[in-house]
Amino acid sequence: LAKTTQPISMDSYEGQEVNITCSHNNIATNDYITWYQQFPSQGPRFIIQGYKTKVTNEVASLFIPADRKSSTLSLPRVSLSDTAVYYCLVGSYNQGGKLIFGQGTELSVKP
């Protein structure tokens, strides 16, 4: 499984766009990039997944450059309720492979 590196913490203010970058230099050809969000005392929640270029859903956008060695999760106009830990995971889950969580990025949104 590809190792990922992301900032331990980030601060932001309400209404700002937040970009969290994840490095995954040894990503394999079959690997996908997936982001999860976790609030205190709750289970991780799937946010977005991509393979290349850009993916957008109602919650976030995921930008993946051509070499796929990094990715950026973009949260538009964050609110206080976006305060959470965000995890970047890389792997091939076609046959239900295990998810390996790192420490994640603790995002704190301030008023």
List residues binding other proteins (CB under 8 A). Answer: 32, 34, 38, 41-46, 49, 87, 92-104
Pick the closer one to other proteins by CB: 29 or 94: 94
User: How many whole angstroms separate alpha carbon 101 and alpha carbon 111?
Assistant: 29
Q: Considering the complex, what minimum distance in angstroms separates the CB of residue 19 from other proteins?
A: 21
Distances (CA, A) of 20 to 2, 26, 63: 18, 19, 10
| Nearest CB to other proteins, comparing residues 56 and 92 | 92
Distance CA 49, CA 34 (A): 4
Only one residue has tokens 């994840």, namely: 22
> Burial, 27: exposed, middle or buried (Cβ in 10 Å; 0-12, 13-18, 19+)?
buried
Is the CB of residue 15 less than 8 Å from the CB of residue 78?
A: yes
Nearest to other proteins of 76, 97 (CB atom): 97
Distance in Å, CB of 60 to other proteins, minimum: 12
Q: Please state the closest distance from residue 95 (CB atom) to other proteins, in A.
A: 6
Smaller CB distance to other proteins: residue 23 or 102? 102
What's the min distance (Å) between Cβ of 13 and other proteins?
A: 26
